[in-house]
Amino acid sequence: GCAQKYIVKNYFYYYLFKFSAALGEEIFYITFLPFTYWNIDHSVSRRMIIIWSIVMYIGQVSKDILKWPRPLSPPVVKLEMRTDAEYGMPSTHAMAATAISFSFLIATVNQYKYPFELGLAAAFVFSTLVCLSRLYTGMHTVLDVIGGALISSVLLVLLYPAWDMIDHLLLTSPFCPLLSIAVPLVLCYNYPKLDYYSPTRADTTTILGAGAGATVGFWLDNQYATPVYTRENFQLEFPVITSKIVVVVLARFFVGIFVVLLTRWLVKSVVLGMLGYRYKFPIGDLEARRRLEVEVPYKFITYSSVGFCATVLVPLLHKLLGLM
């Protein structure tokens, strides 16, 4: 498909919802989730990443099991084309936005001193904007969006009582590194098969790979850096924002993002080159890269390296540069 022609009559809504749609895509995940790990709180970031991985896997698989089509065009005008090949129900944008915003609220409300009403309003506004963006861009029906938000909410309620237990096991179990890699790989290789190619398997492998790499990083940090369970729990106030804090936060972020993006590019190039040599195809062959034996390992290795880099290598670099 070619993109449809359309006339923008309200640029405020157009750019608002195009931006809001990006809050449910890789560019947001690869910046916001590491940002919380580097600048806010490790425990908050851990919980968000684990919840995000579980919720997104269930959402992606549900799409390819239910096989509900996206809205017909016409009558809607679709402002995006990459995900048009995917099925519609549930909206994983709605699921991710709900999971990330409300897990952030739940993870911080008892640990930091701030008005609960403010946090609730921020979570609601964030998730609502992302949900509405899927309607505006013509990618989902109202039912898709409501279904995604409800499924994510139910999963949050079901997983919340086990948060601390899961976190403890992931940080302390000697089997964590092995299971963190093996289980997602099994899930990726046994992803539901479709009659035609859809980017859902690639996106799911990306998410599970990033979560796996980050989880191994969490485990290593707890074993060899700063053990989480040797510290007492206490409530913190957000620090007064000064120019020095802003500079340090921005320095951590830009240094970290540069290293993460460099890692992604290097690992992707090396892995694709090796797979191309193994299966005899040029790196630019898109059809070959969509094959199961190529797509899963190259996506999984690339993004597990990204997750590991963000949780282990970048914090070490921050210490070396005096940014901690």
3-class DSSP assignment, residue 73: coil
d(CA 158, CA 136): 31
Statement: residue 236 has pLDDT above 60: no
Could you tell me if residue 4 is inside a domain? Answer: no
Question: What per-residue confidence (pLDDT) applies to 178?
Answer: 92
Residue 217's Cβ-side half-sphere holds a number of Cα atoms within 13 Å equal to 28
d(CA 111, CA 104): 11
Q: Which range is least confidently modeled, 141-145, 189-193, 236-240? A: 236-240
140 an active-site residue? yes
168 an active-site residue? no
For residue 241, name the pLDDT band (cuts at 50, 70, 90).
low
3-class DSSP assignment, residue 194: coil
d(CA 268, CA 250): 27
Could you tell me if residue 1 is inside a domain? Answer: no
d(CA 160, CA 200): 27
Could you tell me if residue 291 is inside a domain? Answer: yes
Could you report how far apart the first and last alpha carbons of the chain are, in Å?
48
Could you tell me if residue 3 is inside a domain? Answer: no
Domain of 155 in residue numbering reads as 11-227+234-321
pLDDT cut 70: percent of the chain above it = 92
The 10s digit of each residue's pLDDT in 117-134 is 888 999 999 999 999 988
Cα Rg, the chain, nearest whole Å:
20
Of 319, 318, 324, nearest in space to 259 by CA = 318
pLDDT cut 90: percent of the chain above it = 37
What single-letter DSSP state applies at residue 9?
Answer: S
Question: What per-residue confidence (pLDDT) applies to 229?
Answer: 45
The 10s digit of each residue's pLDDT in 18-35 is 888 888 888 888 888 899
The single residue of 42, 93, 168, 318 carrying the catalytic annotation is: 93
Question: What per-residue confidence (pLDDT) applies to 146?
Answer: 93
Could you tell me if residue 202 is inside a domain? Answer: yes
The single residue of 42, 140, 168, 318 carrying the catalytic annotation is: 140
Question: What would the two tokens of residue 149 be?
Answer: 């938000």
The structural domain count of the chain equals: 1
Could you tell me if residue 137 is inside a domain? Answer: yes
Statement: residue 302 has pLDDT above 90: yes
Please give the average per-residue pLDDT across 217-238, as a whole number: 62
For residue 80, name the pLDDT band (cuts at 50, 70, 90).
confident
Strand partners, 112: 236
Statement: residue 81 has pLDDT above 90: no
What single-letter DSSP state applies at residue 311?
Answer: I
- Segment holding 237, helix H or strand E: strand 236-237
Please give the average per-residue pLDDT across 12-18, as a whole number: 87
For residue 83, name the pLDDT band (cuts at 50, 70, 90).
low
Please give the average per-residue pLDDT across 126-154, as a whole number: 90
Statement: residue 262 has pLDDT above 90: yes
In a 10 Å sphere around its CB, with 0-12 CB exposed, 13-18 middle and 19+ buried, how is residue 128 labelled?
Answer: middle
For residue 233, name the pLDDT band (cuts at 50, 70, 90).
very low
